[in-house]
Structure 1
Amino acid sequence: MSNTPVLLDIGTDAYAHQTEVDEVKKHMGIQHNYFDCWIFGFLENKNFNIDETVEKLRRRADFERTQLAACNVTDWMMENMRKGIIQIIGNDKAGRVVFYVSTARDKPVASRREESRMNFDILLTYGTRLRPESKRCQITMLINQDKASMISNLDMTLQADIALRIAKFYPGCVDKIYICKMGRLLAAMAKPIFSRLPAIVSDRIIIISDSDIRHGKLLELFDASVLPIELGGENDCDHQKHYDKFAATIRSYFEQLKPALMRGEEVKEWELENLRAAGFIKDASPMDALKRSIVEPSPSLREQFLPGPLEPAGYSLLLTNGSITGPSFSPRSPALCALDIDDDANLITCETDSIDRDGPRSTGRMQRNASMLSRSPARSLFADYLHQFTTIESFFRLSVTEMHERQWLQIVQWEMQERRSILQGERFIRGDRLLAGLPPSVLLLAKGFLWLCLIVTSSFFFLGTCFIALFGVVTLMNIFFAIFVRPYHVFLYGAALVVVASQFVILCSRGVDVTRSTFQGRVVQAFRALGAKALAVQLIIYVVCTIAFFVLFCAMAVRHDVLTGLQYSIAYGWIVAVCLIFIYHVVFAFGLRTLSTHSYANGSRQYNAEATVYLFMEVEMDDENAEQRCPPAEVMLLTVVGVLSVAMGIAFLTGGGFFFLCATIVAQAVLLQLCTTFVIARSVSSSSDIIISGVFYASVFWMNTIFTISQNGWSGDWGRSTLAVLFVMLFFVITGMVSVFGPWKGAVRRWLFRLSWLLLLLHLIACVAALIAFNYRFGLFVLALAVHLLLCIMRTNESSNNFGMLIMSAGFTLALLACCMLAYASDAEVYEGSVSDVLVPNYANRSSASTVSRYPMSADLVEPQVTLSGMATLASVHTQRNITYVMPPLCLAQFGPTLDALGMALFAKLGLNDDVDAQEKDLRRWFPSFRRLPTPEMVESEVMHLDAFREETATVNTTIVTARSGMDSILMIESMAMWIDTYILSFFSLLMPAPYVDKLMPHLSFVQRMVPAQWMASIEKTTAVVHGLLKDLRGDRENVFIVGHGPVGSRAAVIGLRTQENVYSLTFSGPPVVPSKYNLNFSPEVLARRMLAVQTMQTVFSTWYLRTASMQFIPCSLGGNRCDRIDTTIQTLSQLCDE
């Protein structure tokens, strides 16, 4: 047996995986290398995973014992083979067996599909057999579609089933499939099916056009003596005698194979034994055979030396050139035993122990040796020298041969390393290859600039991915809260939530892929369609973009400043990145095809995308993952998290606190993430999408139950809606579990798979149709996303990855938790009881000696800068006080005859008091000149509660409207969706110019205007109440201030800005109000006059807050959320503005 690796029959790329092949053979107990090519096909199909390859080989063995052994060559099969549909015409130039298929001769019958499958199994087994000249076990299919009819000559169901059988039982055996002379109608029908076949098959399909045949494309692959005349060759193979001979050969082969299969032998082992019996395989190497021929005696000498039967412990002596060698022939040592001449243990020297030359045993042995020598024939001295010379020359020749083979293998290994480096250079951006030829002094600078471009562009793609996640979280939040507006909305907007969430998961996955590929210097998958030019094109784009952004930075830095230049260049960078990722996401669903070849393999897929094949064709499903079960550790972990989610939810529904709600949300998000990760890891088929969809529905149901029941209870339509969702969720989850993990085979599993998928699709279609009927704008939007999602599922089963899923699930969970915490913080500010005794008890006395005052309607609410001359002028109108230090501008603002900034903060605190009597007491203590105004009664389900107070003087009348959160905690959580986008976008405020923030905000929350929301309806009602309360308060003597704290205060400020012009808004520690988001066409100057937003520094969000013209900051060193409290604001203002 030669030392040349068998894998080199396939190529050097295959030989690079010799270690993995040897590991598989070790698991399978295979000691030789004749099956290396056969094993490599299975190993490549499993992405070189050792354990999965071993399992697939065992399934192949089961297939041989159960299915292949049960085959019989029927008369119909013999008749079909005699038609010449398939015949072997020789080998291609790579040494593969060529199957020539004439499609026009086939007349498929649906009732004979099972026999056609058996016939194909037998033909492929024969074509991939071990041959004396080659062990690569591969064939090439040359398919002639000339004059083939789509109706009478083609059974697409059978073709798809055969392709799936190749992937399951013959991976890598069909190395190339050349399809020639395919008609346009047939190509239009076949190409979509080719793209959905497993990659192990679709990657090998190459369509040869008539133009390629005329230009000799096939002659580059096949010898003219092999290529049929119809395809431009010289092989006249279309004769009936050839068909008959081929059919007889196949029948004879299988009749010999079947008894071996019935005995339990494997196909390859049986073929190997036949080659051994025919003498085509020698187990020993030439060197071993030579050593054995030297040490072993010839049969004639053994007959002379051993005339009688062998005796135990008997010895024979061979005299060779005066040396004595005594091999022992005993019952435990066969007569054909050979001694290894390279083994030092066989040498007897003077220093050898355990040899007693003087003992009686030695004396007897010498007597026996003497008797043997007396009978040994005389040998010629010349013959001995000739024999020795021949032996030495044979050793020398074999040594030279082995040295040649070793050197040749080293050359092959060097070539493989060089090829790998070349391939790596095509896929990785390596400066030493791209910049070859540059002077050494310039090369280092060029490589540094190249990697700088990669870092800059990857940073932009990372920021773009973050913005996509931000946009997706905001969109999902608005859709999620739309579920709770009316009963049964969970079906409409729940399905929309699943569709939109899946889309954003895929979109984030594309962003992560592009970012990672760019940062690592690899060619982005979207550019691989350009072939060898991909590297240059991608590099040019990166360099051009980097230079363009640098030029933009320089221009803006010269026009404005360095920070503004950075903001403009970064903003344009990640905006362009978002657009590119979105285009890549849209195109990804249609697959990426290599432009330089005619292969219809979908380059973007690594796993099977066979959903449509299983749904619409009678093909056998892949059972590789049917018997896999989740490990006990995974099952236990999922069970614990699921039970924890249910327990926390029940605890919240039965009166538990805010902690149980947050725990339920986190546990459900973790359960969804873990389940999705585990299912994807355990199954790569389309069945995994059924489980994932079921888990999504279960999550939507549980969140709907938590929010709906805690707010509306089980009464009326809400209870019936919850039960309906429960039954639908259980149906889909149970159906998916049964169809995926049940012990089903064959047609039963296929029909359960179809039932699960069709019901899921019908449910999705019904929900989207109903959504279009009730909300056509949003329904059409979801319909477009659903169509794109179905394309991704059917064509690109690995369209999403764990990174995209993790980003979206974590982002949505954190945003929902933020809404809960903001609502909880707003609700915690509401109090009962009087606080005027401990909080600025002497404010009424301060107001009598007020500082510089002015009419609030004659000037802006806030003067950022007030000069001393201006202060002196205003002091002439009112009592002036000696000022010994510089006050902040906020302390100089006067909102009424007895009202300053501290008084407004006290009114915000007063509005948070839920005790009417205590509120009256504090009002008389702080503001004795104010009285309460009657306000329309507001139900507990409103998002805000309003109180109004009024002061009337001879010069001006001042009305203060305060706001606090309502009693419905769930509605408060939902209302935080009004600000969650502002809080999230604040993290991007430093990465773009200020005008861009105002322009971007309406587009970020566009879904908010398309879906219903309870809090929006509640705000409309509150706005109507404010209009009714203030409709008579008009004129120059009337000033109205709406005061609030936190998110509720900002919400009240928006309501005030929407009313009449003499209404001003003041907020303390609230989210920034972006006018464009609420269709407020205010300039920064008008906003500064109409609104004042007081923010404390060192809070959780103060660093990232969006800066607007209406903001004023006051210091705070407490940190965390303590600086956000209204009590802290009051104390800080009291210290700042104290005399």
Structure 2
Amino acid sequence: MANAPVLLDIGTDAYAHQMEVDEVKRRMGIHHNYFDCWIFGFLENKNFNVDEAIAKLQRRADFEREQLAAYNVTDWMMENMRKGIIQIIGNDKAGRVTLYVSTARDKPVSARREESRMNFDMFVSYGTRLRPESKRCQIAMLINQDKASMMSNLDMTFQADIALRIAKFYPGCVDKMYICKMGRLLAALAKPIFSRLPAIVSDRIIIVSDGDIRAGKLLELYDASVLPVELGGQNDCDHQDNYDRFATNIRDYFEQLKAAVLRGEGVKEWELSNLRASGYAEELSRMDALKRSIIDPSSSLRDQMLTGTHEPGGCSPLGTNGSVTVASFSPRSAARHVVDIDDDANLVTCGTDSVEMNEPQSPALLQLRNSSSAPRTPTRDLFTDYVSQFATIESFFRLSMTEMHEREWLQVVQWEVQERQRLLHDSGLIQGDKLLAGLPPSVLLVAKGFLWLCLMITSFFFFIGTCFIALLGVITLVNIFFAIFVQPYHVFLYGAAFVVVAAQFVIFCSRGFDVARNTFQGRVVQAFKAFGAKALLCQLTIYVGCTIGYFVLFCVMAARYDVLTGLQYSLAYGWIVAVCLIFVYHVVFGFGLRTVNKRSYAHGSRQNNAETTLYLFMDVEMDDEHMEDRCPPAEVMMLTMVGVVSVAMGVAYLTGGGFFFLCAAIVAQAMLLLLSTTFMTARSVSSSSDITICGVFYASMFWMDAIFTMSQNRWDGGWGNSLLTVLFIMLFFVITGMVSVYGPWKGSVRRWLFRLSWVLLLLHLIGCVAALLVFNYRFGLFVLALAVHLLLCVVRTNGASSHYGVFTMSASFTLALLACCILGHSSAVDTYSGVASDVLLPNYARRFRGSSASLSSRSQSTLSRLDALSSAPFPSSSTSSDSGSDEGIGALPPLCLTVFGPTLDLVGMALFTKLGLNEDRAAQDVDLGRWFPSFRRMAVPDVVDANVLRMDAFREETTKVNTTVVAVRPGSDLMLLIESMTMWIDTYALSFFSFLMPAIYVDLLMPYLNFVQQMLPLRWETSIDHTASVVRTLLLNLRGDREVIYLVGHGPIGSRAAVIGLQTQSNVNSVVFSGPPIVQSKYGLNITADVLARRLLSVQTMQTVFSTWYLRTASMQFVPCSLGGTICDRIDTMVQELNHLCTA
């Protein structure tokens, strides 16, 4: 065989991977190139990963020893082969052996599937054998479906099993499958099956219609002498003699193959030995044979080169007559002469003095040696040695030149392949050369710059839109998560809903990142590839049109208002339109359009989720490629460490540990779930990965349920039974899944365990969704729609999610949950017990003590301003106790001039807020008498400590005005406080987007962010509603012009109390310190912004943490504070800063 690279039989693209093939051969100890095409198929299947390809080749060797060697040709198999279902008709124009399949002759029997599988292995092994004319080890299948019946001639289970078998044991061997004359009903059944096969099989299936046959498409692939008559050729191959001969050939071939495998040979090694025995393959390369000929002249390649080609000349030694004899190349003594055949300097030439000639010899000794050696060794001919050595040097030179030429040719081919790949890569980039052809160079440059600008702008909007999708998903998931803890056993209903919604938003974000990344890189988005050649035009039309629309909107709004407003409007419309486009892509993606969701699995070992349906509904053999590497030690150790940390932190918190342990348990459990998902999807440990991920998800849900319920409810009220039930169900699913995935099962046992695990998971999911429909039909319908789309994504697509989507949703949800925990804990630690007036402004009441005339004047001034409450934000007058001069008043900030009653200013409101946080009633009375001696406690209806809000009411009555202050504080239930923070988490999250849209759009978007709250039974909402009813009852009789009522509070709890005040009667005003802003549309407040500014005062410090960063309202006033962190947000700091600011 010539030294031409064997991979060129397949094509230059294959030849470009010669280095990977050589590496595989080096590791496996293969020193020839006859198996290059065979090895290339395994490399291509594994995305040219050498380690995985070697592992797959090892599995192929195991298959030969364990399965092929155990096959026997039965009578039924011989009879089946003689039916003419399959026969070899010749080669196509590319040189592939072609198996002609007549489906109408096949009468499949389910009981004979195993024998049919054996037959198929024999056919493919025979068709892909090494042949003298080609070593490509590939076949093409020409399948004639004419007159085939779906009921009697087709076994789709067997067909799917065979296709998976090709991907497992014959990767790349079946290069093309041409399916001809397929009926419509059969095509409708077969196409969904084909779409779920591994891409290395499904991408090679070509359906040829009758019109294509009549148009001569098959004649472009086959010579007329090879193509059967039924398909438009001239080969009349449908004869019983052909069938019998083919069956006999297969049987004889397999019997010899089986005997060789039983002897310990591999299939390809045996085929190569047959070629060598027949003289079609050289034992060694020409260079190796030439080197060996120097040592072993009996099989010298030089003899073949010298015979008839070189005549001795000139200086022939005496006695040789110019002849070349074998004795001339007899080996010399190894003791005296060591010949290094790899070093040309050691070769003997005409310029080399003979060793014997340089040694002094006596005539007697020379005569004795000649006489003793004459009978054994012919006389050496120096001229013949010279000619032979010259021929050897020339042969080395020619082979070296040939090898150098081949290396240069390989380099040229690799350069060509790289250039082709670059051109192919560039074809997917948006350059606009074709669309802009004909433009002058200068205009073309400007047009390309404009296209690039459009791409950058659009990719930015897609990224912002994806972030908004993640924000919406996180808010939805947090609300669903806390709905689990409303009642016992809700973990099943809303836990399943959490899984469905989380998976949906992961896929949603993945689509957004795909679009944003492809757009930023200037590539055609996968969704547009469904339009074929018009994909580029469609994408550019949308991008350019949207960009122009954004610019026009900016110009209009900038002209009408200002530049910043115009920019906000254009940004808002940009990412809102991007969200809509991503949503359309997400919905369409679930229906499994091949041109839309095609992934890299076609060229690698990525998991194909669509295979799950084959394993579930068809009796096909499961892939076991990753059986040996399903539990890498590093991954197991890392997951174990994270799991142990999560359990340890959770147990520490449940046994009385601090708040830190709760946060640490949440972070560790999120890390465990994220790492598990990442490891499973990265290694693609078959379609069973989803079972493992579900098991980890079940364990995570149980542990979070245990932490939140045990710390809150212990074992009372059915919570203990609920927790035990969740534990047992979690253990059942986890153990079942682990046994089915990681057990040493094969064949039907593994298949049925896989089905059992999947069916149980699906039944549990369906049962939970059905129960959710019964108990909460609105939310149940929402989850049902998402579940249907999710199942479509699982069974119809190759891979719906990406690492970007998984990481974004996992990290965002964890951060949001931690934010709720931190906000709730911060509200809980605001409460205290004991007397505070001893150290905090003990002399506050003295500033209002003075002459009665002064007090009467101040009261009258205050009353006049309180009567004008509808026309001024808050009544104001001098609050200076020592001086009423205008100079003192003018020196104070406007915020300090605000008064709320005859003896109540802004500092007093802060002290009332501090007073309301006191849980000790006796100490509260002491502080009340010292700070506000004119106020008395009011009787408040009972509000249990477990509520989100608790309150105390205080009242001051004068002849002109009656002032009532209702101070609120958080309840004692920490978990309820954490859950209640979901009422503000959307405001905090949306504040990051507030600079990307006008203020009016914030009001419009806010109700849609927490849409799911209206469908969920949340505990904190019930508690808030109860507190609101208590407030309305308390203030029901406090109406009239002389009644002024204030609700005061601190932090998020204070803001929620302010909302309650705004929702009650019109004479109720609210004062909040360090609380988040109140958005009217979120709570359905039917008041204008002007009224909101009059009835609400929100005081913030400049270094606040609990206020939002960008979202501002007209009710907010700021106080300087430089202490930093959460210190400025404390009510004690607020009181001190206000007192310092407002003291003249």
* TM-score when normalising by structure 1: 0.91
CA apart distance, 1:422: 1.3
Partners of 2:291 and 2:672 in 1: how far apart? 67
- The AA in structure 2 aligned to 1:909 is K
- For residue 594 of structure 1, report the CA deviation from its aligned partner: 3.5
Which residue in 1 is equivalent to 2:805? 804
Q: Is the partner of 2:814 in helix, strand or coil?
A: helix
Please tell me the residue identity of whatever aligns with 2:128.
Answer: T
Distance change (3 Å), C-alpha of 1:1125 and 1:394:
closer
Aligned to 1:765: 766
825-834 or 343-352, larger mean C-alpha shift: 343-352
| Deviation digits for residues 504-559 of structure 1 (CA, Å, limit 9, x no counterpart) | 12222222222222233333222333344434443443333333323333332332
1:835 offset after TM fit, Å? Answer: 2.1
Q: Is the 8 A contact 2:160 2:197 kept in 1?
A: yes
- Equivalent residue for 1:250? 250
Q: Show the counterpart of 2:227.
A: 227
Structure 1 residue runs without a partner (length 5+): 303-315
Matched position secondary structure for 2:179: strand
Corresponding residue for residue 1108 of structure 1: 1113
Q: CA deviation at 1:360?
A: 5.1
Q: Which of 896, 902, 908 is matched with 2:901 structurally?
A: 896
Alignment of 1:595-744 (within 5 A): 607=608, 609-744=610-745
Q: Is the 8 A contact 2:101 2:144 kept in 1?
A: yes
Do the aligned residues in 2 keep the contact of 1:4 with 1:409 (CA within 8 Å)? Answer: no
1:950–1:960 contact (8 Å) kept in structure 2 = yes
Look up the match of 1:590.
Answer: 591
* Aligned-residue offset at 1:456: 2.3
Greater Cα shift, 229-238 or 991-1000: 229-238
Seen in structure 2, the aligned counterparts of structure 1 residues 29 and 860 have a Cα distance that, compared at 3 Å, is farther
Structure 2: how far apart are the matches of 1:718 and 1:509? 37
Counterpart contact for 1:24–1:54, Cα < 8 Å: yes
The answer to whether 1:1026 aligns with 2:1031 is yes
Q: Deviations over 1:771-828 (max 9, x none)?
A: 0000001001111111122222223353223222221121111111111111111111
Q: After alignment, is 527-536 or 742-751 more displaced? A: 527-536
For 1:462 and 1:921, the matched residues in 2 are separated by 57
Q: Structure 2 counterpart of 1:84, which letter?
A: G
Deviations 1:78-113 (A, max 9, x none): 111111111111112221111111111110001110
1:329 lines up with 2:338 in the alignment:
no
SS of structure 1 residue aligned to 2:1016? coil
Contact kept in structure 2, 1:459 and 1:515, CA below 8 Å: yes
The alignment partner of 1:1122 has SS state of coil
Which whole-Å deviations, capped at 9, do the CAs of 1:283-318 have from their partners, x for residues lacking one?
Answer: 45567778888998799999xxxxxxxxxxxxx999
Are the aligned partners of 2:320 and 2:381 in contact in 1 as well (CA < 8 Å)? no
The residue number in structure 1 matching 2:69 is 69
Which letter does structure 2 place at the counterpart of 1:1114?
A: V
The amino acid across from 1:618 in the alignment is: D
Return the letter of the residue paired with 1:1106. Answer: L
For each residue in 1:596-645, what CA deviation from the matched residue of structure 2 results, as whole angstroms up to 9, or x when unmatched? 99x99999986352111111111111111233242223222222222222
1:831–1:364 CA distance, 2 compared to 1 (3 A): farther
Q: Which residue of 2 aligns with 1:421?
A: 422
Does the Cα contact within 8 Å between 2:1043 and 2:1067 map onto a contact in 1? Answer: yes
Partners of 2:107 and 2:1115 in 1: how far apart?
81
SS at match of 1:630: coil
The range that moved more, 467-476 or 437-446, is: 437-446
Kindly, what percent of the aligned residue pairs are identical? Answer: 70
Q: Please give the residue correspondences for 1:753-792 in structure 2 after superposition, counting only pairs within 5 Å.
A: 753-792=754-793
Letter in 1 for 2:426: G
**Residues 158-179 of structure 1 deviation map (CA, whole Å, 9 limit, x = unaligned):** 1111111111101111111111
- Answering whether residue 1004 of structure 2 is matched by residue 1008 of structure 1, we say no
Contact 2:470–2:809 under 8 Å retained in 1: yes
* CA distance in structure 2 between the partners assigned to 1:575 and 1:253 by the alignment: 67
Instruction: Please say if 1:842 is aligned against 2:839.
Output: no
Please say which of residues 263-272 and 435-444 is displaced more in the overlay. 435-444
Q: 1:1124 to 1:45 in 2, by over 3 A?
A: same
Residue 214 of structure 2 is matched in structure 1 by 214
CA distance in 1 between partners of 2:596 and 2:769 (Å): 37
CA distance in 1, matches of 2:828, 2:318: 107
Distance 2:438 2:5 in 1: 38
Aligned to 1:191: 191
> In the alignment, is the contact (CA less than 8 A) between 1:638 and 1:675 conserved in 2?
yes
Residue-by-residue CA offset, 1:549-598 (whole Å, 9 max, x unaligned): 2333333233222322222222222222222222222222222334999x
In structure 2, do the counterparts of structure 1 residues 293 and 965 end up closer, same or farther at CA, with 3 Å as the change threshold? closer
Mean CA deviation greater in 464-473 or 213-222: 213-222
Summarize the Cα distance change of 1:376–1:973 in structure 2 as closer, same or farther, 3 Å threshold. Answer: closer
Measure, in 2, the Cα distance between the counterparts of 1:206 and 1:726: 51
Q: How does 1:67-106 map to 2 (within 5 A)?
A: 67-106=67-106
CA contact (8 A) 2:339 2:346 kept: no
Tell me, in whole angstroms, the C-alpha distance in 1 between the residues paired with 2:475 and 2:461. Answer: 21
The verdict on how the C-alpha distance between 1:363 and 1:1095 changes in structure 2, with shifts beyond 3 A counting, is farther
- More off after superposition, 60-69 vs 435-444: 435-444
1:912 aligns with 2:912: no
Contact 2:1074–2:1106 under 8 Å retained in 1: no
> What is the letter of the counterpart of residue 1034 of structure 1?
R
Q: Which of 1048, 1053, 1056 lines up with 1:1051 in the alignment?
A: 1056
Shift of 1:354: 8.8
Query: Among residues 1123, 1129, 1135, which one is paired with 2:1134 in the alignment?
Result: 1129
Task: Supply the distance in 2 between the matched residues of 1:459 and 1:299 (Cα, whole angstroms).
Answer: 73
Inter-partner Cα distance in structure 2 for 1:523 and 1:917: 72
Residue in structure 1 matched with residue 134 of structure 2 by the alignment: 134
TM-score normalized by the length of structure 2: 0.91
- CA–CA separation in structure 1 for the residues paired with 2:289 and 2:705: 79
Query: Aligned ranges for residues 300-311 of structure 1 at < 5 Å?
Result: none
What letter matches 1:985 in structure 2? Answer: L
Moved more, 240-249 or 1021-1030: 240-249
CA contact (8 A) 1:295 1:341 kept: no
Is the 1:627–1:743 Cα contact (8 Å) retained in structure 2? Answer: no
| 1:483 partner amino acid | I
SS of equivalent residue, structure 1 residue 895: strand
1:951: how far off? 1.3
* Structure 2 residue runs without a partner (length 5+): 304-316
Please identify, of 970-979 and 281-290, the stretch whose mean Cα deviation from structure 2 is larger.
Answer: 281-290
Q: Per the alignment, in what secondary structure is the counterpart of residue 1124 of structure 1?
A: coil
The residue correspondences of 1:335-484 to structure 2 (distance < 5 A) are 343-347=344-348, 357-359=358-360, 408-429=409-430, 441=442, 445-484=446-485
Instruction: Give the distance between the partners of 2:150 and 2:74, measured in 1 at CA.
Output: 27
Indicate if the aligned counterparts of 2:568 and 2:998 stay in contact, CA closer than 8 A.
yes
Cα offset for 1:368?
A: 5.4
Amino acid at match of 2:1134: T
Residue identity matched to 2:129: R
Change beyond 3 A, Cα 1:546–1:426: same
How many Å separate the matches in 2 of 1:570 and 1:969?
A: 40
Q: Tell me what 1:1085 maps to.
A: 1090
Q: What letter is aligned with 2:31?
A: Q
1:859-1008 to 2 correspondences below 5 Å = 859-860=868-869, 881-883=886-888, 885-1008=890-1013
Following the alignment from structure 1 to structure 2, what is the Cα–Cα distance between the partners of residues 1116 and 735?
A: 58
Distance change (3 Å), C-alpha of 1:479 and 1:904? same
Amino acid at match of 1:249: N
- Per the alignment, do residues 555 and 320 of structure 1 end up closer, same or farther by CA in structure 2, a change over 3 Å counting? farther
Give the whole-Å Cα distance in 2 for the aligned partners of 1:59 and 1:600. 20
Cα RMSD for the two superposed structures: 3.7
8 Å CA contact 1:480, 1:494 repeated in 2: yes
CA distance in 2, matches of 1:110, 1:322: 74
For the 8 Å contact 2:10–2:37, the answer to whether it is kept is yes
Aligned pair count reads 1117
Q: Give the alignment of 1:4-19 within 5 angstroms.
A: 4-19=4-19
Worse-matched range after superposition: 42-51 or 718-727: 42-51
Q: Is the 8 A contact 1:860 1:1088 kept in 2?
A: no
Structure 1 residues 207 and 863, CA gap change in structure 2 (3 angstroms)? farther
Q: For 2:829, what is the secondary structure of its paired residue?
A: helix
Q: Distance in 1 between matches of 2:973 and 2:1020?
A: 11
